Amino acid sequence: MMVSSISNISNFISGVAAVAVAAAVVLTHCASLVVGSVEYSPKQEAKALLESGWWSHEYLNSTTTTPCKLPGITCNPAGSITHVSLQGYPPLYGRKLGRFLNGSSFPNLVHLDLAKARLIGSIPPEISTLSKLTHLNLSHNYLSGELPLSLRNLSQLVMLDISFNSISGSILPELGNLNTLVQLNLSDNRLTGAIPSTICDLTNLQYLSLSRNQLSGSLPSRIGNLKNLTSLKLSSNNLMGTITPSLGSLKSIQYIDLSSNHFNGSIPIEICSLSTLLSLDLSNNSLVGEIPSRFADLEDLTTLNLAFNNFNCCIPCSFMYHRTTLHADTYLYDYVRCSKIWSGGIVKDGLIIVCISFILASSFLVLIIWAVFYKCGCKNKKIKSLDETIATKNGDIFSVWNYDGNLAYKDIIQATEDFDIRYCIGTGGYGSVYRAQLPNGKVVALKKLHTSEAEEPALRMSFETEVKTLTELKHRNIVRLYGFCLHKRCMFLIYQYMERGSLFCVLNNDVEAMELDWKKRVNIIKGIVNALCYLHNDCTPPIVHRDVTTNNVLLNSELEAVVADFGTAKLLDPNSTTQTTILAGTYGYIAPELTYTIAVTVKCDVYSFGVVTLETLMGKHPKEILSSLSSSSTQNLKLIEILDQRLAPPRSRLAVHNVALVDSIAFACLNADPKLRPTMDSVSKQIVERRTPLADHCFHEITIGHLMNP
């Protein structure tokens, strides 16, 4: 009996202990929830969003208890943020990602899309605090610096897109630990070094793009491990060595682009076993040997680009009956290799006749096309006017290609994969701009109006204005128009590609802005002067651009400037003393007289040029100075105080002289009275003569007042 009682007591004590332990666990858990609710409550998340400065007070204030109604924010049922997507909302213009993450955490955030938000600075290490992220899109921004090592902690990532930025350094080998990744896009940056072999451990990867970087080394031999890969894009790098046969193991692959590298050796025959392959681009390499005839066995292959290599043979005859669009060097078309013919084998005469007939027919067709283009003016001969040609086509479609006479609509569609978002490098009110590499290896920029804009009469008129204007202009500091397509449902322009993008973007990227020393900035200003002088003085009739901004000044790889976007340009009638029109241009650059008159003169461009010049030297828009030019406090500001503080002050005698000169010109161009502004011709002469009325002043003593009243 006693034993039984002791046993019962023991069981009771054990039960109480178990309950106590359970209670402790529950209490501990509850405590963490309380802490969590305090630290990560919706109110705290709303406060963090406010402190980031990304959402203005009109949307959010300190008394807001939920951020769920903010633009671009999605919450879970508990009111905690799960999605942030600023696509379709106004860009952030120069904000830093660290402001969003600093001092706060969003524990339930799974989707962060900040594409095209115009972010600057680096990717902060604090990105790792977003531990539940599955989608991270930072593409099409102005991010710089290296990839933070903390990215390796985002173990649940499915999509990582940091394309179209200025990220430098090497690709982190630790990215190979993100084994849930399905999409990885690091294209269009400044990445260097080799492709880490650990990338080949991402066996769930379906899309991999590292194109247009400065990557070197060879293609990882284990790349065939990526069994689920459908797109492999490594173009425009410095990759070298032979193409690994392991590509033949990519049984799901549809698109391979290894163009514009330094690959050598022959094409691995294993590639010919990729039955799912739709497009293969090996152009612009140093490949040798024969073109495998087994390519013709790939029934789904629609595009094969082998141009600009060193193949020692010609195209297999089997391609002549294949629906693949083949791009190759001209000499490869000189004769068709039918193996049994040229090796002495016996074939039916009919096959020889078919091959020869095909060559003759193709040659004849090329001659006809050349003759038509030559007669239509593609060799810079006289054509019907644009209006007459459009009328002839009933407004349906009209296109001119004068870029080596080689462009075709299908080339544009293939080069952009039917205007895929991956090729988009910018957007605006008119539509989108795309980067496209043509079959001949050349790169162009396409400005495409969206379908809705293409149907707007005002935007269609702007499109036609730009075409009419640019087809007549030829100047090294004005963007070249290579071609266009005008259709009631599809309208796009094809321009010379400017590698460094707009002056606005460069000035708003700390790394790129510091690359623009004073000499380069003055040279950019000189390029703009040359362009406007040409428009105002050398064109008949004169042309007023009407939208001169840093967004419409583009820079090439050598940081030389061209003026672009002539959609609002206007031709001045020399027989009319005043010409009126509707207001056009960009706020902050429009001449003040256009607020009370609709008369258009070249002096409107002169004022905009003055704003752009100041912005170039200051590194930011001079809105505060423009709004208070007449105040004594502004006029007492020293020049050295308003110059871009990211650069050391100009030191050499030449740099000091040039900066003072163009600054004095800028303030003359900003005169409120258009009659007192200089002409662009006189600005050009003053720059050439290099005379400045401030020569007797010490540079550190020059004020805005001196510049305004030299």
pLDDT (tens digit per residue) in 569-605 = 888 766 555 555 556 778 889 888 876 666 778 999 9
Q: Compute the C-alpha angle 260/443/259, nearest 5°.
A: 20
H helices, E strands: number in the chain: 19, 30
pLDDT digits (tens, 9 = 90+) for 253-274: 999 999 989 999 999 999 999 9
Q: What is the DSSP letter of 382?
A: -
Catalytic residues: 547
pLDDT at 265: 93
Chain-centre distance for alpha carbon 264: 30
Helix (H) or strand (E) holding 513: helix 510-515
CA dihedral 684, 690, 696, 698 (to 10 degrees): 90
Residue 708 has pLDDT above 70, yes or no: yes
Residue with more model confidence, 556 or 324: 556
pLDDT digits (tens, 9 = 90+) for 51-71: 776 765 545 454 445 677 777
What percentage of the chain has pLDDT greater than the value 70? 70
Q: With contact defined as beta carbons under 8 Å apart, do 597 and 673 qualify? A: no
What percentage of the chain has pLDDT greater than the value 90? 33
pLDDT digits (tens, 9 = 90+) for 368-390: 434 433 333 333 333 734 433 33
Task: Say which residue the tokens 């495409």 belong to.
Answer: 448
Q: Compute the C-alpha angle 21/26/27, nearest 5°.
A: 95
Cα–Cα distance, 188 to 166 (Å, whole number): 8
pLDDT at 465: 74
pLDDT at 570: 82
Cα–Cα distance, 45 to 68 (Å, whole number): 10
Q: What is the DSSP letter of 675?
A: G
Looking only at the bridges linking them, the beta strands covering 424-428 and 431-437 are antiparallel
Q: Is 233 annotated as a binding residue?
A: no
Tell me which residue of 375, 366, 374, 380 sits closest to 333, measured CA to CA: 366
Per-residue confidence at 197, pLDDT binned at 50, 70, 90? very high
Looking only at the bridges linking them, the beta strands covering 491-496 and 481-487 are antiparallel
191 CB contacts (<8 Å, ≥6 apart)? 167, 168, 169, 170, 171, 210, 213, 214, 215
Cα–Cα distance, 370 to 29 (Å, whole number): 79
pLDDT at 262: 94
3-state secondary structure of 209: strand
Mean pLDDT computed over every residue of the chain: 76
pTM comes to 0.48
CA dihedral 538, 540, 546, 550 (to 10 degrees): -30
Chain-centre distance for alpha carbon 618: 24
Tell me which residue of 161, 147, 92 sits closest to 120, measured CA to CA: 92
Q: Report the range of poorest mean pLDDT among 378-382, 460-464, 557-561, 683-687.
A: 378-382
**C-alpha distances in Å from residue 201, one per residue of 52, 222, 240, 411:** 37, 9, 22, 35
Residue type at 393?
A: K
